[in-house]
Structure 1
Amino acid sequence: MTHLDNVVALLAHFSLPTPTHRRGSTLPPHRLPHLPGQVAIPEQIHTPSQTALEWFNHAPADGVEQTLLTCLRSLRWAHRIAEHRPYPDLDALLAAADEAAYDLAHADLAEALAGEPMPTLPADTYGAAHTALSAAHAAYEARFGHVFVICLDGVAPDELLDRVLEGIRSRLTNDPEDERVVAAEELRRLARQRLTSLLRGARPY
């Protein structure tokens, strides 16, 4: 059986919400401002002789926190990282980001999860896969009350579908508290990936 067949079979054991389902009923109201899913440090913020890290270290806190919220949508996480500037190098910044992510309370994680988009797949992914994924995401949200998150850093484009399907299949059977721990780790990895891409001038996703 393929991953797609396995996911379809597993979903039969879960109660699916209606097709109009968008978010689990236990999600808190989303109180963060609307932010784009992809950002880059604006060109005007630094001169050719100023690195992105130098801008990050010395820019106004409000602007830095808004930038950080595009990596992980937790106000507490963004404020803590901005407050502890300056950082001598990217490794020090990433270590601080990891530490702040590990320290997030349950309410902070709920806030971050509420702001996460679902994992995206290549545009040419076939229709049956999108249908199965929509059902799988709906089943996951109905069970755990938040969107499915997974860090796909380093995964080849032709392996994204299998990786997402396998992730949903394996994690749907988790106990809710165990899944909260897994989701928190995936958020930490996503934040690290996005922050690295941003500070190196790439577009995080």
Structure 2
Amino acid sequence: MTRGSTLSAHPLSRSTGRLAIPAQTRTSPASLPELPELLDGFNALPADEATHRLLGCLRNLRWARRIADHRPYPTVEALFAASDEAAYDLTSADLAEALAGETLPPLPDDAYEAAHMALGAAHAAYEARFGHAFVIYLGDIPAREALDRTLEAIRSRLTNDPDDERIIAWEELRRLARQRLLTLLADTGPRPDGRHPRHGA
């Protein structure tokens, strides 16, 4: 029940906009300089700003508010644990809201037309069967393999029972949330001059 993300095509821009291979950055704990300092910046954000930024990561207001309200977090793992726990407590309506918030990033410029058509057809079949966005976490899969892995995953998951697939989509969102939270920490952390972005230039 794991996988991860990036892509889409020009033909897909004519779709509902609710089918998604969420854009994913490659931020990892190893790439972040001082995680405690990054947490300090995140923990110090005003409640409204924290919720707004978290909403960009989690795509669900209840999820975002819960994470914001439980600050401060002593460690990144504590933040991840809180996000995971909140994700497991989401209602079906919350999940639908989170899925509806996903968008399709573009396929690479050199992607062949057949790739656009294949991905578009697979997305259409998935939405028709399950009625919600396709979400996948690809982790550290090389970008050149992302399309093939995505198509393979869509076709495989099309055979799932709808209730089982909803659980898988939930898990994919949870894993994507962890990656996005790392990016959020990087954005709210100190710059080389020691100042936080929210304090201005």
Task: State the TM-score, normalized to the length of structure 2.
Answer: 0.74
Note closer, same or farther for the CA distance 1:38–1:182 as it changes in structure 2 (3 Å cut).
Answer: closer
Secondary structure of 1:116's match? coil
Distance 1:81 1:60 in 2: 13
CA contact (8 A) 1:77 1:104 kept: yes
State the partner residue of 1:78: 64
Q: Deviations over 1:28-54 (max 9, x none)?
A: xxxxxxxxx799xxxxxxxxxx93321
1:36-55 matches, within 5 Å, as 51-55=37-41
Deviation at residue 201 of structure 1 after TM alignment: 4.4
Note closer, same or farther for the CA distance 1:187–1:110 as it changes in structure 2 (3 Å cut).
Answer: same
1:22 equivalent to 2:8? Answer no
Distance 2:24 2:147 in 1: 21
Deviation at residue 21 of structure 1 after TM alignment: 4.5
CA contact (8 A) 1:118 1:149 kept: no
1:1-205 matches, within 5 Å, as 21-22=15-16, 51-118=37-104, 120-201=106-187
Long gaps (5+) in structure 2: 1-12, 26-35, 189-201
CA contact (8 A) 2:51 2:65 kept: yes
Note closer, same or farther for the CA distance 1:143–1:112 as it changes in structure 2 (3 Å cut).
Answer: same
Q: Comparing both chains, which one has the higher relative contact order based on Cα–Cα distances under 8 Å and sequence gaps of 6 or more?
A: 2
Note closer, same or farther for the CA distance 1:177–1:162 as it changes in structure 2 (3 Å cut).
Answer: same
Larger helix proportion of the pair: 2
Distance 1:23 1:52 in 2: 33
CA contact (8 A) 2:24 2:176 kept: no
Q: Deviations over 1:153-190 (max 9, x none)?
A: 21111110111011101011111111100000000011
Q: Deviations over 1:71-125 (max 9, x none)?
A: 1111110011001000012111111111111111111001100101136543322
Deviation at residue 198 of structure 1 after TM alignment: 2.4
Distance 1:63 1:138 in 2: 36
CA contact (8 A) 2:53 2:184 kept: no
Distance 1:144 1:21 in 2: 15
Secondary structure of 1:152's match? coil
Q: How many residues align?
A: 163
Note closer, same or farther for the CA distance 1:86–1:196 as it changes in structure 2 (3 Å cut).
Answer: same
CA contact (8 A) 1:150 1:186 kept: yes
Note closer, same or farther for the CA distance 1:198–1:123 as it changes in structure 2 (3 Å cut).
Answer: farther
